[in-house]
Amino acid sequence: MHPGRALAIVVRPMISLQSYVRGQWIAGNGDPVTLHNPANAEVVGDVRPGGVDHAAALAHARGVGGPALRAMTFRQRAEMLKGLSKKLHEHRDELIEISGRNGGNTRGDAKFDLDGATGTFAYYASLGKHLPETPWLTDGDGVQLGRTARFWSEHVLLPRPGVALLINAFNFPAWGMAEKMACALLAGMPVISKAGTASAMLAWRCAQIMVDSGLMPEGAFQFLAGSVTGMVDLLQPMDVVAFTGSARTGSRIRGNPNLIAHSVRVNIEADSINAAVLGPDTDVDDDTFTQFLANVHLDMTQKAGQKCTAVRRILVPEDRLDEVKEALIDRLQATRIGDPLDENVRMGPVASQAQLDDVRAGIKHLQDECDTVLGGPEAMDGPGYFVRPTLLQARDVGVAVVHELEVFGPCATILPYDGRAASAAELVNRGGGCLVASVYSDDKSWVHELVPAIAPWHGRVWLGSEKTMGHALGPGAVLPGSIHGGPGRAGGGEELGGLRGLQFYLQRTALQGDRAVIGRTYGNGESS
Residue 308 annotated in active site: yes
CB nearer to ligand NAP: give 165 or 518. 165
Residue 223 interacting with ligand NAP (CB under 6 A): no
Determine which residue in the list 163, 225, 270, 366 makes contact with ligand NAP, applying CB under 6 A.
270
Residue 165 interacting with ligand NAP (CB under 6 A): no
Residue 434 annotated in active site: no
Set 42, 154, 179, 269: catalytic member: 269
* Residue 224 Cβ vs ligand NAP, minimum distance, rounded to whole Å: 9
**Rounded Cα distance, 156 and 143, in Å:** 12
Interface positions, 467-496, toward ligand NAP (CB under 6 A): 490-491
Which residue type is seen at 204?
A: W
Determine which residue in the list 204, 292, 408, 446 makes contact with ligand NAP, applying CB under 6 A.
408
- CA angle, 161 as apex, 156 and 165 as ends, to 5°? 115
CB 116, CB 181: distance < 8 Å: no
CB nearer to ligand NAP: give 279 or 305. 305
Q: Name the helix (H) or strand (E) containing 144.
A: strand 143-144
Give the orientation angle of helix 175-187 with respect to helix 107-128, to 10 degrees.
10
Binding mask 172-191 for ligand NAP (x = CB under 6 A): x-------------------
- Nearest residue to ligand NAP on Cβ basis: 245
CB 117, CB 480: distance < 8 Å: no
CB 53, CB 69: distance < 8 Å: no
The window from 70-78, 238-246, 326-334, 359-367 that contacts ligand NAP (CB under 6 A) reads 238-246
Interface positions, 297-356, toward ligand NAP (CB under 6 A): 308
* Residue 317 Cβ vs ligand NAP, minimum distance, rounded to whole Å: 28
Residue 228 interacting with ligand NAP (CB under 6 A): yes
Provide Rg for the chain, Cα atoms: 24
- HSE toward the beta carbon, residue 215, CA cutoff 13 A: 19
Cβ-in-10-Å burial (0-12, 13-18, 19+) of 198 comes to buried
* Residue 168 Cβ vs ligand NAP, minimum distance, rounded to whole Å: 6
Exposure pattern of 513-523 as b/e (b: 16+ CB <10 Å)?
eebeebbeebb
**Rounded Cα distance, 451 and 457, in Å:** 10
* Residue 480 Cβ vs ligand NAP, minimum distance, rounded to whole Å: 13
Cβ-in-10-Å burial (0-12, 13-18, 19+) of 438 comes to buried
Query: Total residues at the site for ligand NAP (CB under 6 A)?
Result: 27
Residue 286 interacting with ligand NAP (CB under 6 A): no
The window from 58-66, 163-171, 319-327, 366-374 that contacts ligand NAP (CB under 6 A) reads 163-171
DSSP class per residue in 15-75? EEEEEEETTEEEE--SPPEEEEETTTTEEEEEE------HHHHHHHIIIIIHHHHHTS-HH
CB nearer to ligand NAP: give 43 or 517. 43
The window from 111-119, 170-178, 286-294, 359-367 that contacts ligand NAP (CB under 6 A) reads 170-178
**Quick one: DSSP state of residue 442?**
S
Residue 227 interacting with ligand NAP (CB under 6 A): yes
CB 184, CB 125: distance < 8 Å: no
**Rounded Cα distance, 221 and 176, in Å:** 15
Residue 171 interacting with ligand NAP (CB under 6 A): yes
Residue 258 interacting with ligand NAP (CB under 6 A): no
Residue 241 interacting with ligand NAP (CB under 6 A): no
Give the orientation angle of helix 107-128 with respect to helix 74-90, to 10 degrees.
160
Cβ-in-10-Å burial (0-12, 13-18, 19+) of 222 comes to buried
Determine which residue in the list 229, 251, 258, 512 makes contact with ligand NAP, applying CB under 6 A.
229
The window from 88-96, 248-256, 386-394, 460-468 that contacts ligand NAP (CB under 6 A) reads 248-256
Residue 464 interacting with ligand NAP (CB under 6 A): no
Residue 406 interacting with ligand NAP (CB under 6 A): yes
The window from 7-15, 93-101, 169-177, 465-473 that contacts ligand NAP (CB under 6 A) reads 169-177
**Rounded Cα distance, 229 and 252, in Å:** 11
Longest dimension (CA), the chain: 82
Whole-number Cα distances in Å, 69 to 85, 425, 461: 18, 46, 36
CB 78, CB 186: distance < 8 Å: yes
Residue 109 interacting with ligand NAP (CB under 6 A): no
CB nearer to ligand NAP: give 155 or 307. 307
Residue 244 interacting with ligand NAP (CB under 6 A): yes
Determine which residue in the list 7, 95, 117, 435 makes contact with ligand NAP, applying CB under 6 A.
435
Residue 269 interacting with ligand NAP (CB under 6 A): yes
Catalytic residues: 269, 308
Site residues, ligand NAP (CB under 6 A): 167-172, 194, 196-197, 227-229, 244-246, 249, 252-253, 269-271, 308, 406, 408, 435, 490-491
